[in-house]
Chains A and B, each alone.
Chain A
Amino acid sequence: MSVVTNTTTIGAIDAPSRRNTELMMVGFAVAISVFAYANVGLALNGELPSGMLGYGLGLALLGGISHLAVRKFAPYADPLLLPLATLLNGLGLAIIWRLDQSERFQATPDFAPAASKQLLFSAVGIALLVAVLLVLKDHRILQRYTYISMLVALFLLILPMFFPAVNGAKIWIKIPGVGTIQPGEFAKIIIAVFFAGYLMVKRDALALASRRFMGLYLPRGRDLGPIITIWAFSILILVFETDLGSSLLFFGMFVVMLYVATERTSWIVFGLLMSAAGAVGVATFEPHVQQRVTAWLDPFAGWGKLAASEQMAKSLMAFGAGGTLGTGLGQGNSDLIGFAANSDFILATVGEELGLAGMMALLLIYGLIVERGVRTALASRDPFGKLLAIGLSGSFAIQVFVVAGGVMGLIPLTGMTMPFVAAGGSSVIANWALIGILLRISDTARRPAPTPAPSPDAEMTQVVRP
């Protein structure tokens, strides 16, 4: 991109768009994933896997299409988000494909390979990303749908209550012919839109109309209304759907956005207090939650007695087996964990087969995505964009922390999926949409200010030469 110069006193110098950097990095991400396939195939069968070309081409095609869409519709977007997400998705595909090859899984009666489906879901996700970039010319349009978003999010959250629980949590809905969907993943994005819109309007009232009490700014009762509502709502989700992860996610996201909107520390204190109260309250009478806490405190104590404990202990042993450098892709035994090995517990496979080194790299990739999101929020010039960007990247960070922390035994396991890496359609599709919105916001933020109209006086000015 050439640097535009003109003779006006206000110089508008373009930020470099970095699209070529992005293209190279997407190519790099695809290459790493293809190498991962080759690695699995060579380790398991001693030959390059037959599906390698298909998956590699598919992934390259998806990366190329998304890159072209960004180049065309969001030329100033952050250049790191797309390659990072592509790398995660590609690695995830390779690991899911690796788990598909597991003889233990293939011996189970209802085994169905997940990698091809995951590639299909990734394609749908990329399509959604392109659609977001194509349709959403400016993220501020979303402001108009603040309350509609709220209704849609509520609808999506309540929906799974009418469907039977799967593995102890009511977070799925089953649509005949399509399969199961986790509406919570989509609700995450939609509720961020609602929060951003709501808080942008109410932030002055929440921030300023408060009384000082014991060093904290206490908000007025009527402004407390929404936070209490959300708190109660997240607790309700927890109780009726036994979904710890989602309730933690929504509540955390709301507290983060409130804090950014109001710049008042008191909100964080309230948020923490209320979530602690809610968590303790629920944990005292909800057996599902109690099991998870017991399993977290000492996973090996519940061996043979509690399925959750056993799963947790197996996950920890997978991490231990990996050690510093890992066993190598295809050479571990993380499939001992059982049915959730390619979704909730996929990180255990990463830990075992790629080792500490691979885990740290993966976590840093997630960290980079989050920090690029926060940077987008910082760079964004409008409060709605700031709030939406921080809401999305904050929820992404919380989700990564809750899932990874759960699988590694840092916090009780909550049963969410690792964005992009874990097998699961809803998750991949929703997260690609999330990346799409972040790309759109960053494009707006980094787009150079329009060149001011040439000053009619410019030509008239006399240059006085000494």
Chain B
Amino acid sequence: MNKPLRRIAIFCGLLVLALLVRVNWLQYVRADELNENKHNRRVQIERYAHERGNIIVDGNPVTGSVETKDSDFKYKRVWKDGPMWAPVTGYSSQAFDASQLEKLEDGILTGNDDQLFFDRTLSMFTGDKRQGGNIVTTLNGAAQKAAFKGLGDKKGAVAALDPQTGAILALVSTPSYDPSVFAGNSFKDAEARQKLLKDKDKPMLNRALRETYPPGSTFKVVTAAAALENGLYTDIDAKTKSPLPWRLPLSTQNLANEGNIPCENASLREALRWSCNTVFGKISDDLGNQKMIDQADKFGFNEEIFTPVRADASVYPKDNRPQNAMAGIGQASNRATPLQMAMVAAAIANDGKLMQPYMVAERQAPNLDAIYTHEKEQFSQPLSGENAQKLQQMMETVVETGTGRNAQINGVTVGGKTGTAQHGLNNSEKPYAWFISYAKTDNGSPVAVAVVVEDSQANRGDISGGGLAAPIAKAVMEAVIDSKK
């Protein structure tokens, strides 16, 4: 009976061999594919198994991680002053993915990024607790706070830039939300998120980057820049050929000014000071649609801007003549994000050089070594230095003696422009109050701000931009200047 026994021995050996081959196939050949399977919960578990890196403002983290007990996802994200920082950080939820910086810089924050491979390998051997890297932002905590406080319970947004570098100093959107309320993956988190999504005030909308508003009169500085750049007018104090009333081209309608202001043949400086619709409407019409588009494009209109968080494209449209004339005063289909208008102010303040806006100054490995540092980068040159300085004079007049007096700061040169954008059919809804401005010190301009307040209660007229939005811009500029001292 020994011959069949030997064969059975071989058969049993083959059974074990088949198992060995199979286990090699599973664990060596197919391991990666199985690990990447979309049903594999381990990916999520691993993702939340260690502390996420932090988003840092002024050297202090505005985010954190807390250990949770109720789930197999060990760490949950928390925010300090969540509603204030949400427009910058975005959210990072165990159940609902992430957004904005939390999403874009996820690789660094979780520590999974290829650039951190060496760190990961090292900590595997040294047995250190694994950690994510940090994102150091350009934001200025004081400016952010001033903007957030300034907006208060009003609906609106603030974007502030350092004109010389493009660094984003403040990015606020109200009403905001606390991303901590749905950072976990419990039923409660889902409920809190649903509530936010259903809120008609859209707290999760980042108004500073993702909402475009008619820029209203603040756009007149772009129109003025176009007039200077195209040589339509060269002297800002010379009289323009602007009749009053001025009839919209190809139309039977007169373009009206707000109130009874001296706009007939007003100089550029006076026209900006009083915010004359007739003067700037006519400039836009004189230059024509294409030249206006070109100028707007140089300021960053008509393209998405990545900070790296995406900002919606602001729009200066291709349009017919009367519409183009309206777009020249920031109405019609002309739309801009607060960031875009801050860029306009920044370019003028920086003598015509527009810097690429950014908010990530540095990416850090878990050991705080910088693995990426932002180099400032020019976005475009929307206007010559000479013309920029002319515009500065005009904007400074607005603050000194015009509609923007509320933005005056003692001992600091401030330039600004108010705006009240009509919207709704036949101007039926409440207008948006705008204010764009910059401050200037001996070392050039440290800050340019754009403020928009949606629920303007004020009486119509440019004064509402000056009344509602200018104080907020002033507070932000003061905060930046104070923090530089």
A contacts, CB < 8 Å to B: 103-104, 256, 259-261, 263, 300, 303, 313, 316-317, 319-324, 333, 336, 351, 355-356, 359-360, 363-364, 366-367, 370-371, 374-375, 377-378, 383, 386-387, 390, 393-394, 397-398, 400-401, 404-405, 408-410
Contacts and interface: CB of A to CB of B under 8 A. Distances in A.
Given A324-B27, A333-B45, A378-B5, A400 B22 contact: no
A359 B23 CA distance: 7
B33 A320 contact: yes
A313 B39 contact: yes
A367 B33 contact: no
Question: Interface of chain B, helix or strand or loop or mixed?
Answer: helix
Interface stretch (B11-19, B206-214, B339-347): B11-19
A401 B34 contact: no
B117 interface: no
Interface string B1-44: 11111111101110110111011101110111111010111100
A390 B8 contact: yes
A360 B35 contact: no
A393 B12 contact: yes
Contacts of A370: 12, 16
Contacts, number: 134
B1 A383 contact: yes
A374 B1 contact: no
A259 B3 CA distance: 10
Nearest to A367: B16
B369 interface: no
Contacts of A367: 12-13, 16
B18 A405 contact: yes
B304 interface: no
B34 A400 contact: no
B5 A303 contact: no
B18 A410 contact: yes
A244 to B, nearest CB: 17
B22 A320 contact: no
Interface in B392-448: none
Contact of B9 (A261, A363, A371, A387): A371
Contacts of A319: 23, 26-27, 31, 34
A360 B18 contact: no
Contact of B12 (A300, A324, A371, A387): A371
Contacts of A320: 26-27, 30-35, 37, 40
B4 A263 contact: yes
B396 to A, nearest CB: 64
B72 interface: yes
A144 to B, nearest CB: 21
B28 A408 contact: no
A330 to B, nearest CB: 13
Given A394-B8, A400-B15, A356 B23 contact: yes
Contacts of B72: 103-104, 333
A71 B402 CA distance: 108
A386 B22 contact: no
Given A103-B72, A333-B45, A410-B18, A260 B8 contact: yes
Contacts of A404: 19
A394 B4 CA distance: 12
18 contacts: A256-B8, A259-B4, A263-B4, A317-B39, A319-B23, A320-B31, A320-B33, A320-B35, A321-B35, A322-B27, A323-B31, A323-B35, A355-B27, A367-B16, A371-B9, A378-B9, A394-B8, A410-B18
Given A320-B34, A333-B42, A394-B12, A360 B5 contact: no
A401 B18 contact: yes
Interface string B351-382: 00000000000000000000000000000000
A105 to B, nearest CB: 11
B22 A316 contact: no
B26 to A, nearest CB: 4
B45 A317 contact: no
Contacts of B33: 320
Contacts of A260: 1, 4-5, 8
Nearest to A203: B1
B41 A408 contact: no
A428 to B, nearest CB: 21
Contacts of A398: 15
B5 A386 contact: yes
Nearest to B3: A263
B24 A356 contact: yes
B35 A390 contact: no
Given A104-B72, A359-B27, A386-B1, A410 B35 contact: no
